[in-house]
Structure 1
Amino acid sequence: MAVMKVNSYFILTIALAVTVLMTGIVGAETLAESPHPYVSNYENTWVISQPGADQMRLYFTKLEIGYGDSLLLLDKDNNVLTTYTGSILGAKLLENYWGEWYALDTIKLKLTTNNEGNYYG
């Protein structure tokens, strides 16, 4: 874990390949990784929390989700902020994508997969 300050933003990287930006925080860079490709019938939740952060957003360097699989972004009380899913036409692929800002200091990422195929995550 390395401490860094980047223009008064806290940057956290997790490899579903996600970066989190939080305003006004000096913090650490952390890496947590899903299997690549992810396995069938897999479920995992990552909790990203920085007490005192005013807002957070995610940056996906790469996110690929298959049909019937989902990545939920949740607040600390498990309310759904947004959902990423694949479609019947194929996997959802996002690269170099910034998500929305959320006025909170904790975001949970919950990846749930079925047995219909395996993608990057």
Structure 2
Amino acid sequence: MGQNCRLTCQLCTPSPPTTLSPAQCYDSLPSCSYSAFLCNYTLYLTFMSQNCPVTCGLCVPLATTKDPCSDKSLIPNLPSNCSAFSSLCTISVFQAIMTEYCPKTCGFCTSTISPGATSTSPLALG
């Protein structure tokens, strides 16, 4: 049986699946999540990679960049609530914690000018 039905018996070596760009990567069938176990079977690999690439883990993740100056929540497991505490930004005893958790709200972020950027402020010649 193994000689005549190599594909059915899962004796074939599949070509490695290619990863898809984020724009191309979506599951086209509503049953993909229920059929996820089929991603591991050679017999279904082509079908699953074409129809359920997200479920089968064949997608290239989107690169995410974190805002270097963003507020964190003062209360764990809740969204940032810095705006409710913005009055504390200018009170010296709270500045350390507000700098750590609410730099954007408090205006404590430092901006940098990237190379090649131009400044609109006049130069002092003298």
TM-score (ref. length: structure 2): 0.21
Larger Rg: 2
Give the structure, 1 or 2, with the largest relative contact order (CA under 8 Å, sep 6 or more).
Answer: 1
